[in-house]
Amino acid sequence: MPKSQRNFSKNIYDYYDFHDSESEIEVELASPWQRIAAYIINVVLYSICIFLAALLYVFHKGFQPESMHINDIALNICILILSIPFITAQWIMMSKTGQSIGKRLMKIKVINLDGCNPGFVSTVFIREILFETIVSIFPYLLIKIFNLDPGYTEKIFNYLIIFICLFMLFRTDTNRRTLQDYLAKTIVIKV
């Protein structure tokens, strides 16, 4: 198997300090295109939730008397009503199987470096929530410390993170692990 990696944990810090050095797991890594497609599927599904929330808002606003227009809070409530169940379902699926809807459709999943399901902490909390928090806070710190333009700094930093992750996806010598994978000590494989 040319795309599989034998003993995929070879690039992990202190792996042998915590594991039997003779244990090897052979897995087939998810292709970069599968991972990109899974991400796009998840974004499209979430965008559909937001679109439906906007329709719900417009539909509801259209039936209000002119003196009782709904404000922006109502739009946010509509978005929450539709996005919370979607996000919750994604988190439950990721916690139990290591697969989001996009990953399931692309037949890939996230596993720990020892081959086990990472569960909620690694898959959802570290890989998604903590990573996004770090990515959100870092440009803010740059803006405050160096007095940079907020709009440009955030955009440049976000594009830089996307570029780095895309670059990492195509590196087989690091087992196609992205920044999220290193943070959570996970890897994405074919099912």
Q: Express each pLDDT in 25-46 by its tens digit.
A: 688 999 999 999 999 999 999 9
What phi and psi, each to the nearest 5 degrees, are found at residue 23?
-75, 130
Q: Express each pLDDT in 150-161 by its tens digit.
A: 989 999 999 999
The three-state DSSP-derived secondary structure of the chain is CCCEEECHHHHCCCHHHHCCCCCCCEEEECCHHHHHHHHHHHHHHHHHHHHHHHHHHHHHHHCCCHHHCCCHHHHHHHHHHHHHHHHHHHHHHHHHHCCCHHHHHHCEEEEECCCCCCHHHHHHHHHHHHHHHHHHHHHHHHHHHHCCCHHHHHHHHHHHHHHHHHHHHCCHHHCCCCHHHHHHCEEEEEC
Predicted local confidence at residue 76, as pLDDT: 82
Give the pLDDT mean for 65-82.
Answer: 71
pTM above 0.85, yes or no: no
Q: Express each pLDDT in 114-140 by its tens digit.
A: 899 999 999 999 999 999 999 999 999
Cβ atoms of residues 6 and 26 within 8 Å: yes
